[in-house]
A and B are shown apart, each in its own frame.
Chain A
Amino acid sequence: SQKIEQNSEALNIQEGKTATLTCNYTNYSPAYLQWYRQDPGRGPVFLLLIRENEKEKRKERLKVTFDTTLKQSLFHITASQPADSATYLCALDDYGQNFVFGPGTRLSVLP
């Protein structure tokens, strides 16, 4: 069956450092991979989308990589700030079918 894993439930880093979150999957061949941010008590908010034929995507301080051979995506936040503290969810998208979310990683950026 399909399985999505995200590195450790929680990740603590120091302000100014780069946060790296991992999304690994098995038994799935997504055409797209998306990352969402979720704050406590709120719904997820879309951040970035990367296609299966793209290796890397950037948006301001955010960078996403997608390796379909390793079945892995890395999500980087550079120059992290306390305001980046949230839960980050990866989601696999197979042309709109089987849109599946991972369990999320709770990031805490310490001042």
Chain B
Amino acid sequence: EAGVAQSPRYKIIEKRQSVAFWCNPISGHATLYWYQQILGQGPKLLIQFQNNGVVDDSQLPKDRFSAERLKGVDSTLKIQPAKLEDSAVYLCASSPTTGGGNTIYFGEGSWLTVV
């Protein structure tokens, strides 16, 4: 079974520029997550979708970050304008459903450096 696909793998941008990351979850997985992982820290949830509806976006900096999941499959995370502190790995993940005890399957991540 194909895993979670993410692109691009690496991106370097200047502050105040914009960037977009794309994610294709495992086929059939209803729940999709975007996490931010800063070097040396654990992943922090930015947004969680169930199909194409938002379940939790309480930690998403909505003044600069946006995410959508059209048709309940692929998702895009956008940052505009980027700040230096946005330098991190952006991990997309999926699970079969929402609810306790689900295994979360992660992609390889998109590495963002803001200079």
Best-buried of A9, A44, A104 by chain B (most CB within 10 Å): A44
Q: Interface residues of B: mostly helix, strand, loop or mixed?
A: loop
Q: Are A96 and B99 in contact (CB under 8 A)?
A: yes
Q: Are B42 and A96 in contact (CB under 8 A)?
A: no
Q: Are A101 and B43 in contact (CB under 8 A)?
A: yes
The residues of B that contact A97 with a CB separation of less than 8 Å are: 56
The residues of A that contact B48 with a CB separation of less than 8 Å are: 99
Q: Are B106 and A45 in contact (CB under 8 A)?
A: yes
Return the chain B residue nearest A50 by Cβ: B101
How far, in angstroms, from A93 to B108 measured CA to CA in the complex?
Answer: 22
Q: Are B99 and A95 in contact (CB under 8 A)?
A: yes
Q: Are B106 and A96 in contact (CB under 8 A)?
A: no
The residues of B that contact A42 with a CB separation of less than 8 Å are: 108-109
Return the chain A residue nearest B50 by Cβ: A96
Q: Interface residues of A: mostly helix, strand, loop or mixed?
A: strand
B113 to chain A, nearest CB (A): 14
How far, in angstroms, from A34 to B4 measured CA to CA in the complex?
Answer: 19
How far, in angstroms, from A101 to B48 measured CA to CA in the complex?
Answer: 14
- Contacts known (A49-B103, A96-B99); A102 close to B91, Cβ less than 8 A: no
The residues of B that contact A99 with a CB separation of less than 8 Å are: 45, 48, 104
B92 to chain A, nearest CB (A): 8
Residue of B40, B44, B98, B105 near A96 (CB, 8 A) is: B98
The residues of A that contact B43 with a CB separation of less than 8 Å are: 44, 89, 101
Residue of A4, A43, A51, A104 near B93 (CB, 8 A) is: A43
Q: Are A32 and B109 in contact (CB under 8 A)?
A: no
How far, in angstroms, from A51 to B100 measured CA to CA in the complex?
Answer: 10
- Contacts known (A31-B101, A32-B101, A49-B103); A43 close to B42, Cβ less than 8 A: no
Name A's B-contacting residues (CB within 8 A).
4, 9, 31-32, 34, 41-46, 49, 51, 89, 91, 93-97, 99-104
Instruction: Supply 4 further A-B pairs (C-beta < 8 A) apart from A42-B108, A101-B43, A102-B42.
Output: A95-B99, A100-B45, A104-B41, A104-B42
Name B's A-contacting residues (CB within 8 A).
4, 35, 40-45, 48, 56, 91, 93, 98-109
